[in-house]
Amino acid sequence: MSEAQADEVTVVLEAAEHTDGVAPVGEHVRLRMRPGATGSAHLLARVDGVVAGYAHLDLLGDSAGNQVAEFVVHPDHRKRGLGAELGEAVVEKADNLRVWAHGGHPDAEALAGKHGFRKVRELLRMRLRLDADLPVAALPEGVSLRPFVPGRDEAAVVYVNHRAFDWHPEQGAMSIEDVAHKEAEDWFDPEGFLLAVDADGKLLGFHWTKVHDLPEPLGEVYVVGVDPDAQGGGLGKALTVAGLRYLKDQGLRQVMLYVESDNTAAVRVYTRLGFTLWDADVQYGQ
């Protein structure tokens, strides 16, 4: 995608997010919109020469071999068949297709049903007000926290991330290059990327926080990963609370996170910390 096309699509994405209250595509799509990025098909729908709709197809797919699509129509051009046209174009182009509907938009559900798709996955978005005191969650004995050091910690983080998320369709495939790309984003803050290490400096887990630049800044529990060999001793909860405390110390009043709906253990932990359901992203497949 050219820089000019990316700028046009960004206008559509921002308009949709302003209207719907949720980003219409995932973060990785915006990264793939950069000039020179590979592994994607970009479909643009124009009305009178202006981009009015956009579909992204991840040709590399997830760990199960599914190609994954996300699409959006500018609010000013909805109810005119553009969504259906984009959907048909993606279906014709893709193999083993899965489609995300961010925020579980009812129009997306109707469109999915039209093409014979059913709900196959649900990603919950939960949020927490940081007004109240956070619980105390001590680190296991011999474990300490330090911030991420760019240029030094990427390989260790990717290794632990892969071990922690080998079951996850997207997260488990994160590469050193992916981390480097995110380090180049405006939101990246190494001080908010907390690493848990043992006495020998070995990485046991991490909590990568994120802050969304909104009229009222919104914190995010971006990724909490714990090496399987270090699980079961309370490290995950301690890392989660440490990240929440960091975000609160930055003056943030609200934080959110994403969690798979069938990850009952994680949902239980977050619920006990005070997180409540906000909305959900739904993935459809045939």
How many other CB atoms are there within 10 angstroms of residue 164's CB atom?
22
Q: Is 225 annotated as a binding residue?
A: yes
Q: Is 61 annotated as a binding residue?
A: no
DSSP letter assigned to residue 24: S
Q: Is 285 annotated as a binding residue?
A: no
* Six-digit token string for 38: 């590979």
Q: Is 85 annotated as a binding residue?
A: no
Q: Is the dihedral of CA 147, 150, 155, 160 positive or negative?
A: positive
Q: Is 274 annotated as a binding residue?
A: no
Q: Is 267 annotated as a binding residue?
A: yes
First-to-last CA distance in the chain?
A: 29
Q: Is 242 annotated as a binding residue?
A: no
Q: Is 210 annotated as a binding residue?
A: yes
Q: Is 60 annotated as a binding residue?
A: no
Name the 3-class secondary structure at 100. Answer: strand
User: Are 171 and 26 in contact, with CB atoms under 8 Å apart?
Assistant: no
Q: Is 265 annotated as a binding residue?
A: yes
Q: Is 234 annotated as a binding residue?
A: yes
Distance of CA 53 to the CA centre of its chain: 22
User: Are 233 and 169 in contact, with CB atoms under 8 Å apart?
Assistant: no
Q: Is 220 annotated as a binding residue?
A: yes
Q: Is 264 annotated as a binding residue?
A: yes
Nearest Cα to Cα of residue 268 among 246, 241, 237: 237
Residue with structure tokens 């949720």? 22
Q: Is 224 annotated as a binding residue?
A: yes
Q: Is 66 annotated as a binding residue?
A: no
Q: Per-residue DSSP letters for 150-164?
A: TTTSHHHHHHHHHHH
Q: Is 10 annotated as a binding residue?
A: no
Distance of CA 136 to the CA centre of its chain: 27
Q: Is 266 annotated as a binding residue?
A: yes
Distance of CA 226 to the CA centre of its chain: 18
Q: Is 27 annotated as a binding residue?
A: yes
Q: Is 37 annotated as a binding residue?
A: no
What is the C-alpha separation between 150 and 102, in angstroms, rounded? 31
Annotated binding site for acetyl-CoA: 224-226, 231-237, 263-268
Annotated binding site: 27, 170, 210, 220, 224-226, 231-237, 258, 263-268
